[in-house]
Amino acid sequence: MNSLRGIAALLLISANTVIWCVPLYLLGLLRLVSPGRMRQGLARPMDGLVQVWVGCNRALFAGLRLTRIRPQWEDDESLSPRRWYLVLSNHQSWADIMILQNTLWRRIPMLKFFTKRELIWVPLAGLAMWLLGFPYVRRLGREQIEADPSLADLDRVATLDACERFRNHPCSVLSFIEGSRFSLAKHAAQAARFEHLLNPKLGGVSYVVDALKDRVHKVLDVTIVYRGGVPSFWDLLQGRCRDVEVLVRCRDLPGAVAGARDAAEVRERLRPWIESLWQDKDARLAGLGGLAN
């Protein structure tokens, strides 16, 4: 029964993706050859198509009873789809994206996030994310950068280019600042300072904050808790993930960031604030019995 539900969910989500990718691709191609003002104007209907796609997926999740998402909001009264947001979340599974999209749908603008360059080859979604202006980054290892120091600048330039586009109309920038999905092996390898989280990495998010600090209305501090254990994406589609808690705390950027002169200074001023967020998030997960692991 679970396999049949998973196949049905996969087919329906795939069909939904194909349906909305067709007009998205057409608008995206038009945008590529359009002058600046028109190019900016086309971004809104393209984002709108993605919101419809997410809304259809929400309906599929509900209709097939794939999971129960239980959001808990704190200080969310001023959220609006017409403002800019930075979303910081723990990261455990490919299912996280679908859970976040379902939870935040129409509360804030469409989520945009940094993704590995290799994912541009994913059928339908890879090209769609590129047309939508998602920043593709290489996430090079230290050995690669040491072998060719010029590579270190590639992700920075990609991030800055994306942030310049993000300034043109309201959007929500999602950052999994742990840099990778949580696993016990990664936790041990980096001698993590937290029991249920990996250490936060501030490189990418510091560039985002530096570029958008005069735009960001709120930071959404999100904690995803999978009550029955962390599911794979296939587990989610099969309905094996019965219960998800999503804790969303709306916060202001620390005031010290406003006066930072560059991304390096932003990073240093963000560091104690992010550390505090992660300590609090880790304590909440510990209070829930470490159910995120």
Q: Would residue 2 count as lying in a domain?
A: no
Task: Mean pLDDT check: name the lowest of 30-44, 133-147, 279-293.
Answer: 133-147
pLDDT of residue 141 exceeding 70: no
Give the dihedral sign, CA 266/267/271/272. negative
Instruction: State pLDDT tens for residues 47-81.
Output: 999 999 999 999 999 999 999 999 999 999 999 99
Say what the pTM is.
Answer: 0.91
What are phi and psi for residue 169, nearest 5 degrees?
-155, 155
Structure tokens at 66: 């794939």
Question: Average pLDDT for residues 228-236, to the nearest whole number?
Answer: 92
Q: Would residue 22 count as lying in a domain?
A: no
* Three-state helix/strand/coil letters over the chain: CHHHHHHHHHHHHHHHHHHHHHHHHHHHHHHHCCCHHHHHHHHHHHHHHHHHHHHHHHHHHHHHCCCEEEEEEECCCCCCCCCEEEEEECCCCCHHHHHHHHHHECCECCEEECEEHHHHHCCCHHHHHHHCCCCEECCCCHHHHHHCHHHHHHHHHHHHHHHHHHCCCCCEEEECCCCCCCCHHHHHHCCCCCCCCCCCCCHHHHHHHHHHCCCEEEEEEEEEEECCCCCCHHHHHCCCCCEEEEEEEEECCCHHHHHCCCHHHHHHHHHHHHHHHHHHHHHHHHHCCCCCC
Of the two residues 64 and 117, the one the predictor is more confident about is 64
Q: Would residue 53 count as lying in a domain?
A: no
Task: Assign 286 a pLDDT band (cuts: 50, 70, 90).
Answer: confident
- Token pair 């919101």 is found at 51
pLDDT of residue 39: 82
Closest CA to 107 of 71, 133, 134, 150: 71
Domain count, the chain: 1
Q: Would residue 112 count as lying in a domain?
A: yes
Q: Would residue 238 count as lying in a domain?
A: yes
Task: Assign 292 a pLDDT band (cuts: 50, 70, 90).
Answer: very low
Q: Would residue 62 count as lying in a domain?
A: no
Q: Would residue 13 count as lying in a domain?
A: no
Q: Would residue 164 count as lying in a domain?
A: yes
How many CB atoms neighbour CB 92 within 10 A? 23
What are the distances in angstroms from CA 152 to CA 65, 145, 211, 263?
Answer: 45, 6, 19, 15
pLDDT of residue 163: 85
Percentage above 70 pLDDT, the chain: 93
CATH number at residue 243: 3.40.1130
Instruction: State pLDDT tens for residues 74-114.
Output: 999 999 999 999 999 999 999 999 999 999 999 999 999 88
CA distance linking residue 57 with residue 63, whole number of Å: 10
Structure tokens at 143: 């050995």
Residue 90's domain comprises 67-287
